[in-house]
Amino acid sequence: MEASYILWVIFLFLIAYIIVIGIITIGWIRIPQTSTKKITVKTKVSVIIAVRNEAGNIYPLLESLVKQTYDPNLFDIVIVDDHSEDETVNIINKYIHNDIISITLIKADKKGKKSALLQGINYSNSELIITTDGDCSVNYNWISAFVDYYVSSNKKVISGPVTYSSSGGFWEGFFRLDFSSLVAAGAGSIGVGLPLMGNGANMAFSKEIYTDFDNRNDKHASGDDVFLMHHVTKKFGAKSLGFLKNEDSMVITHAPNNISSFMSQRMRWGSKAKGYRLIWPIVVSLVVFLFNAGLSAILISGFFMSWAFIVYALLVITKYFIDFPLVYRYLNFSNAPRLKPLFFFAEFIYPLYIFTASILALFFKFSWKNRDGLS
């Protein structure tokens, strides 16, 4: 009787999951894919980058920024160093005196990425702010793609696509698949008019909007990108946000080095959920958590009741057919079709991983860049 009751509960979670993922998938399909046009407008742009201990990563980013096709007289780079303990500052200084673009290096007044970003944005006098991270690289048409969409769409906040670089191996593929599903979910939610999340590694917004953003959830170490989106949604409506589905706007970043760093990153991202105030992000978070918690319970039950393994397999296969229309479309867009065969096998791991990461994010502190005790 108890097993039957649990199965009925999980079935209800499954229905809710189908509805949520279906809505998000429709949103992704509704977003038109664009290509970068020749820029004729003269929008002033600042690329803001908060960095900490990025000596091993920042060179590719600086190289890709120096080679941007956008008019170098119309954009500058503002880098805020968040108390790096390696050679990051020395590497940046070698680029500051180049004759191509304006690069300014600022020492952060306070500790933390959110404070560093705010300091860099306040320093800028540009109309459009674009943010990325020190461990990323961008397409040479990256700025042009954002400016083109910003001018033509009149969006106040623009989220862009992000993908992990490819180095091979099962776990690297698993990390890329998980990240792809998150980015696709954020994009699809924007596409259907129910903003969920974005990624500060690839986001643009007017400086005026950020100046108006006075609810930064400072008690959370992560999430300024998400909370900005939620703030703009509440004040100006969901139509004020857009997702730039343009291959030129893709940002490439490094996948976590191992499972430990992967889980720590997901804890940091998951900790944002504690600051959610909009209904849709709360509903999505609860549905995904409860459905995967139920699947995890069935998987664990299989060690005591062998039939539970069969039920788990059937539910995971069902989940696969729910997820793949969205994930496959994003893999095609991000030029990662080779990950499609791996996705089926990864689905059997996801429930336990999502359940574990969610619990850790809600109740435990995490470390980032040699800083411990963050929440």
Flag whether pLDDT at 114 surpasses 90: no
- CB-based contacts of 2-8 (< 8 A; 24+ apart in sequence): 3/305, 6/294, 6/297, 6/298, 7/311
pLDDT at 191 over 60: yes
Q: Which CATH number fits domain 35-258+267-274: 3.40.50.720, 3.90.550.10, 1.10.10.10, 3.40.50.300?
A: 3.90.550.10
278-to-131, 159, 282 alpha-carbon distances in Å: 24, 18, 7
Say whether pLDDT at 170 is over 90.
no
Which range has the worst mean pLDDT, 30-34, 52-56, 75-79, 359-363? Answer: 359-363
The number of beta carbons lying within 10 Å of the beta carbon of residue 121 is 21
pTM value? 0.91
Can you tell me the distance from the alpha carbon of 270 to that of 264, in angstroms, rounded to the nearest whole number? Answer: 10
Instruction: Find the angle CA(349)-CA(281)-CA(175) to the nearest 5 degrees.
Output: 30
Domain boundaries, given as residue ranges, for the chain = 2-27+278-368, 35-258+267-274
Instruction: Report the C-alpha gap between 69 and 141 in whole angstroms.
Output: 6
Give the model confidence (pLDDT) of 261-316 as tens digits.
Answer: 888 888 887 777 777 889 999 999 999 999 999 999 999 999 988 889 999 999 99
Taking a C-beta distance cutoff of 8 angstroms, is the pair 359, 270 a contact?
A: no
Q: Give the containing element (helix H, strand E) for 118.
A: helix 113-123
What's the pLDDT score for residue 183? 96
Neighbours of 366 (CB within 10 A): 22
Does pLDDT of 216 surpass 90? no
Name the pLDDT band for 46 (thresholds 50, 70, 90): very high
pLDDT confidence of residue 215: 47
Q: Which residues does 3 contact at the CB level (< 8 Å), separation at least 6?
A: 305
| Among the listed residues 309, 217, 285, the one whose alpha carbon sits nearest the alpha carbon of residue 24 | 285
Spatial CA neighbour of 267 closest among 351, 358, 182, 369: 358
Question: What is the model's pLDDT at position 44?
Answer: 96
**What share of the chain has pLDDT > 70, as a percent?**
93
Number of helical H runs and strand E runs in the chain: 13, 12
- Which of 162-166, 214-218, 237-241 has the lowest average pLDDT? 214-218
pLDDT digits (tens, 9 = 90+) for 59-90: 999 999 999 999 999 999 999 999 899 899 99
